[in-house]
Structure 1
Amino acid sequence: MTQKRDLSEDKIIQTAMKIISQDGANAATFKRIAEDLDCKTQALYFYFKNRDALNLAITNKYFDDLDNKIKTECLGYSGKEGLIKIAKVMRGFGLDNLSLSLMALRTSELSEDKSIGEAVLRLKGFMYRFIEEFVTDDQEKLTITRGIRALVIGEVVNESVGWFHNPLIKNTDSFEINLKKILK
């Protein structure tokens, strides 16, 4: 049995993320996490007062991981090319981590914690660095970032329910067509 001293917030978050990735957001109960960590459920409450607090920590970790992926994969890009790359990285990350993405979206919608807003502002900041190279109007900048976030979120949500499986056009093709329309 894992002792309390061997547990950590990060270990609990990583275990919960693994469970969510494998079995969906609802599978990451304190009972299931404790079983996977071979500890008592009560030990988890030392780190997280409830499941909402754990979901918020997972969501923050999700956004940190997305930030790091953007920083790594978008290095060396600029302008429209950089913005397209960010959109593709966000979409790919969302689809590669589908259950976590859906859980993070749900938590973001329900939580009033300021860290969620800060994560969205970081994403907006990444996009603004590239947008500012070809757009000067603030309203247009905001419209572009909102359009890209909405497109990415729509892709992830629609893929999760199978709505984009159509032989008429591949989902990646329609994503790129819509992205170019946003950037006109």
Structure 2
Amino acid sequence: MVRKRNLTKEKIIQSAFLLADEIGLNQVTFQKIAVKLDIKYPSLYNHFTNMDDLKIKMTQYLLNQLNSKLMQRLIGKSGEDAVREFAYGYREFAFENKTAYGLFMNIPSIEDEEVNRLLKEFGSILHQILGFYTKDETPLIHKGRALRSLLHGHVSLCFNGYFQNPVSLEDSFQFMLDDFIFSISRI
């Protein structure tokens, strides 16, 4: 039994992610989390206002993890190496957190100041690596949006089973990155 003094927001968030992997994100409730933690569900209200609050905190947690992972992977990298490292790090993170990935793609950044801040941090990481190619803000924003869209589209289509052709998915990902790097190197 998890005792109240050992119950933290992080433990609850991690349990909610594990539960979401087992039963699906939309099936997670305070009652089910409480069963998983072997506690009474009203004690969860000491940490979170409701399920919406928990989902926002889960999104914050996930974005923190993603930003940290990307920053670690990008140490000492620039140019093409940085773009590839960012792309592979993003994809790897999404696949390691498949259920949770759907969560932060469905929480609008405007709903929470901290989510918005973390998304700006993510954008800043992206702009730093793309800044190797241009200092002009407008193309930098366009190319940042393009790369994010490419990566999210690839991950989402993979998750939903849309790539059934026997052509190597890894080759397709590499081809996509090659095209992106070629296009950004021309601005």
Using the size of structure 2 for normalisation, the TM-score is 0.89
Counterpart in the other structure of 2:157: 158
Q: Which moved more, 1:89-98 or 1:115-124?
A: 115-124
Counterpart in the other structure of 1:174: 172
CA deviation map 1:63-97 (0-9, x unaligned):
11111111222212112220221011101111221
Where 2:108 maps in the other structure, the secondary structure is helix
Counterpart in the other structure of 1:130: 129
Residue 127 of structure 1: CA displacement? 1.6
Q: Which residues of structure 2 form unaligned runs of 5+?
A: none
Counterpart in the other structure of 1:11: 11
| Equivalences for residues 73-152 of structure 1 within 5 A | 73-108=73-108, 112-152=111-151
| Equivalences for residues 22-37 of structure 1 within 5 A | 22-37=22-37
CA deviation map 1:129-174 (0-9, x unaligned):
222222132211111110111111112211121002221x322222
In structure 1, give the amino acid aligned to 2:172: S
Identity of matched residues, %: 27
User: For residues 133 and 2 of structure 1, do their structure 2 counterparts lie closer, same or farther at Cα, with a shift above 3 Å needed?
Assistant: closer
Contact 1:30–1:51 (8 Å) recurs in 2: yes
Counterpart in the other structure of 2:61: 61
Instruction: Measure the CA separation in 2 of the matches of 1:118 and 1:87.
Output: 21
Where 2:135 maps in the other structure, the secondary structure is coil
Instruction: Measure the CA separation in 1 of the matches of 2:3 and 2:81.
Output: 50
Instruction: Measure the CA separation in 1 of the matches of 2:143 and 2:178.
Output: 11
Instruction: Measure the CA separation in 1 of the matches of 2:77 and 2:35.
Output: 44
RMSD: 1.7
In structure 2, give the amino acid aligned to 1:179: L
Q: Which residues of structure 1 form unaligned runs of 5+?
A: none
Residue 44 of structure 1: CA displacement? 0.4
